[in-house]
Amino acid sequence: MAEKKTGRTAPKKPEPKARTQTAKKKPAAKKAPESFGRATKAQIAELAGYSYQQLYNINKGLPEDEKIFSEGADGKCDLAAFVQRWTAYNVKTELEKMDDLNQIKARHETVKTRKTELEVYRMEGMLVDASDVKRMWADVAGTVTQNMLHIPNSLCHVLQGIEDAEVIKSILDAEIRKTLENIADAPIPWDEWKETEGEEEDGDDGNG
């Protein structure tokens, strides 16, 4: 059977509205303040992680063309100039430290070399310890003293009864010269003395 047509038409379903995506607006960039790139010394010290006094003392000791603070009429300093000079100062300081370290190492090597040379000289008998020499000359001085003090005893009987001063003087002069010449001609028992010293040192080591 044929369907009957009516004058009514079925209502159309409303079409879904298309979703419109709106782009999020980026926040406007903040304008740099007019004083951007300049700061007070105290602000710079805070940014650098130092106290103002520390940077002041550093700046005070630098030449005029290397000073880290370049203060303008407004009482503020240029940050770019500070960074540049502060970097140069630190690089220079580190290089100086390296130079000092190299000098210390060089001096240390020189001392080691000199010590080795002196040890060789000592082993060859060309060098003796200063304390050994002092002790040896103390013994020599003791010998001289004893010989000189013996002169009055040896001459007292000779000079007895002599009234002529010139004769007495001549006798004394001759005896003194004779004594000094004997001392000068006597060989210094260095080897024996060193052996004695060595025995004493060995005894000290054994007791220790």
Q: Establish if 176 belongs to a structural domain.
A: yes
Residue 141 belongs to what domain range? 129-193
Which band of pLDDT confidence, cut at 50, 70 and 90, is reported for residue 72? Answer: confident
Residue 32: the pLDDT is 38
Q: Which residues of 15-37 are buried (b: 16+ CB within 10 A; e: fewer)?
A: eeeeeeeeeeeeeeeeeeeeeee
Distance, CA of 196 to CA of 190 (rounded, Å): 10
Q: Establish if 205 belongs to a structural domain.
A: no
Residue 24: the pLDDT is 58
Tell me, what amino acid is at 36?
A: F
Domain stop point among 121, 149, 166: 121
User: What pLDDT digit, counting tens, does each position of 26-59 carry?
Assistant: 555 444 344 458 888 888 888 888 888 988 888 8
Pair (114, 134) in one structural domain: no
Residue 31: the pLDDT is 42
Q: Establish if 8 belongs to a structural domain.
A: no
User: What pLDDT digit, counting tens, does each position of 145-170 carry?
Assistant: 888 888 888 888 888 888 888 888 89
For the chain, give the mean pLDDT: 76
Q: What is the mean pLDDT of residues 138-151?
A: 84
Domain stop point among 121, 146, 172: 121
Pair (112, 187) in one structural domain: no
Domain stop point among 82, 103, 121: 121
The yes-or-no verdict on residue 178 having pLDDT over 70 is yes
Helix/strand/coil for 207 = helix
Pair (68, 87) in one structural domain: yes
Pair (106, 82) in one structural domain: yes
Q: Establish if 58 belongs to a structural domain.
A: yes
How many domains would you assign to the chain?
Answer: 2
185-186-192 Cα angle (round to 5): 150
Pair (56, 113) in one structural domain: yes
